[in-house]
Amino acid sequence: MISSQRASGILLHPTSLPSRFGIGDWGESSYRFIDFLEKTGQTIWQVLPLVPTGYGNSPYLSYSALAGNPLLISPDVLYEDGLVDQEDLAYFPEFPTDYVDYNLVIKTKFPLLKKASNAFKTNALYELRQNFETFCKHHSYWLENYALFMSLHEVHPGKTWRHWNKDIATRQPEAIQYWTERLSELIFYHKFLQFEFFRQWQKVKKYANDRNVQIFGDIPIYVAYDSVDVWANAEFFCLNETTQATSLMAGVPPDYFSSTGQLWGNPVYNWEKLEKINFKWWIQRFKRTLEYLDVVRIDHFRGFEAYWAVPQGETTAENGEWLKAPGEKFFQCLKNELGELPIVAEDLGVITPEVESLRDKFNLPGMKLLHFAFDSDRANPFLPYNYTNHNCVVYTGTHDNNTTVGWFSERSFEENMRITDYLGGICSQGIHWSLIRLAMGSVANRAIFPLQDLLGLTETARMNTPGLADGNWEWRYCPNALTPELTKHLQFLTELYGRIVH
């Protein structure tokens, strides 16, 4: 259940943590970041999906909705557990400190993980091996398919699953048995990676929870076509029965921001079949996700009420149609399973009264973005004086927005004067602290800020630019960025605006 107390927190994906291994991980820096949250009175750490990333390194385009990203495994923790040697760690190259060079990280980290897996298989202590067996048994409902899928991907480089041999693409029992036996070594490796990821992450999460910090993460509504989720559950997606290609693609229609809409390409759900099994696949997904998160944000929540479906072969999202989804039935089933729903609805964009009704029926907090508050008239729902419900989460911006400094610098003089007048002037620390103050002082129960805004960084620190294929998800903060002065100022504002949770 989401607390109704006033609280605040920071949005920071773990890949953005400092680390000498080129990408943030579950090592020492994750614990020090939690210490920073505790010292400043923050009780929320918001992360993006923690899943294995595919093309473009996007956590929203994953090989699995349930697995963890092996790149977040800490080599230092592997060393502490005797799975790699100090010599293995000594030969890592010198990585950039302010961004992730994914090609270099992948090239150097995966061979180390392979070595750790081999050491675990031959030399792991009895207790650790027993924990591994327990993990595999408890998670077999998704882990078996995932480990086989990733192993098949390795031996079919550059091919999506529907371009594999037809027998294994369509999961014929004889083919499953053949490939499971043939790829047993690789399957063990991928199971080990998942065991190690979640073993390290559970320690980090416990450290956070023990310090009154909740982990707030994401469930993207759609999954990637080239994922184990679609390969192992093809009947729950709108696929062409003959070719197994996506027959109806997800996206959003043309709007103010795009004359051709956005064609995401993910397969949409076959809600009729999901409803017949009481949404078991979705409920398992939520239960699994809540094993490693405390609260989840549903990305593109409006798709549970109605979704934009574009036929196969279209190159833009213009020629789609709205189709109804059984959102009320689904959330009622989910509530019957979970009780109170620890869910935040991403309700940005063009939202209909029906979507708002679905959100409010289950008492789900929505989102307010201050970057969107100044581009229309006084009725703008993102202006804080229009927040009619405390049950919402206010942000300066999100991972998909520019930084606040970058956003302000791109606006016209007239637009910025309107913001300045609304704020009664820009505070001496800059526009980023002015908007943080505005969010902190609002009636919203929760206020969350990207770390880039706390640091006053420009557009070069932006995490993601939607529609841009390359150069996203790379930003990292430098080891000495969380200064005593920053700590003191954030703690002061958190106390001033009544967001210290006692």
Set 25, 218, 299, 305: catalytic member: 299
> What pairs with residue 310 in β-bridges?
249
Here the tokens at position 227 are 């994922």
Give residue for tokens 């076509």: 225
Q: Are 78 and 118 spatial neighbours (Cβ–Cβ below 8 Å)?
A: no
Which is nearest to 150 in space by CA: 111, 103, 186? 186
DSSP sequence for 41-91 = T--EEE----SPB-GGG-TTSBS-SSS--GGGS-HHHHHHTTSS-HHHHHT
Give residue for tokens 């400092």: 18
> Burial of 423 by CB count in 10 Å (0-12 exposed, 13-18 middle, 19+ buried)?
middle
φ, ψ (nearest 5 deg) of residue 257: -85, -25
Set 101, 294, 354, 400: catalytic member: 400
Set 76, 346, 347, 453: catalytic member: 346
Here the tokens at position 217 are 């993460």
3-state secondary structure of 257: coil
* Catalytic (active site) residue 299: yes
> What pairs with residue 251 in β-bridges?
263, 308
Q: What CA–CA distance (Å, rounded) separates 141 from 136?
A: 9
Here the tokens at position 305 are 């009420």
Q: What CA–CA distance (Å, rounded) separates 447 from 440?
A: 6
* Catalytic (active site) residue 400: yes
* Catalytic (active site) residue 346: yes
φ, ψ (nearest 5 deg) of residue 260: -110, 5
DSSP sequence for 277-325 = TTTHHHHHHHHHHTTT-SEEEEETGGGGTEEEEEETT-SSSTT-EEEE-
| H-state helical runs in 139-270 | 140-155, 166-169, 173-182, 184-210, 228-232
Residue positions annotated with a catalytic role:
299, 346, 400
